[in-house]
Amino acid sequence: MKHKDPIAEARRYVDNAKKTLNENGELDMETKLYQDEKYVRAAGNYLWLGVLMALDAVFKVRKDRRTRVDINAYLEAVGKRDRKLLNYVNTGYDVMHLTMNYDGVPAKGVSDEGFRLANAIIDRCETMLS
């Protein structure tokens, strides 16, 4: 299904990430650690995919959704236009894609930062499209 509003679709991915952690990610309130890294990984993946949708809407780095684009292509395109967004994307890549998705780090603080960065990137992309 093709969505006409990539920003709304990106936000839907963020909502899915939040739902995944809230409904399935058991949080130990004392240690502030999620008990199952599977849900942290899933949330990180949803967040990063949402960010890529927003970036693709603005920067047109990926011509076809079925192709893979190296992160450096995004960084180059973003860096030419918006240095603050570049900082968000660099940090977001580390937090959402590497730390949450690949490493499955269960710390709630890491996940909270992933959500903050995803929303900041999507908001900035939305502003650029206006």
| CATH number of the domain encompassing residue 104 | 1.20.120.330
Q: Is the pLDDT of residue 8 over 80?
A: yes
Domains of the chain: total: 1
> 72 exposed, middle or buried (CB, 10 Å; 0-12, 13-18, 19+)?
exposed
Are 108 and 34 a contacting pair, CB within 8 Å?
yes
Q: What is the pLDDT of residues 71-96, one digit of tens each?
A: 999 999 999 999 999 999 999 999 99
Residue 1 belongs to some domain of the structure: no
**Backbone phi and psi for residue 69, each to the nearest 5 degrees, phi listed first:** -125, 130
Q: What is the DSSP letter of 99?
A: I
Q: Is the pLDDT of residue 108 over 90?
A: yes
Domain of residue 26, residue span: 6-129
Q: What is the β-pairing status of strands 33-34 and 27-28?
A: antiparallel
pLDDT band at residue 125, thresholds of 50, 70 and 90? very high
Residue 120 belongs to some domain of the structure: yes
Q: What is the pLDDT of residues 39-68, one digit of tens each?
A: 999 999 999 999 999 999 999 898 777 888
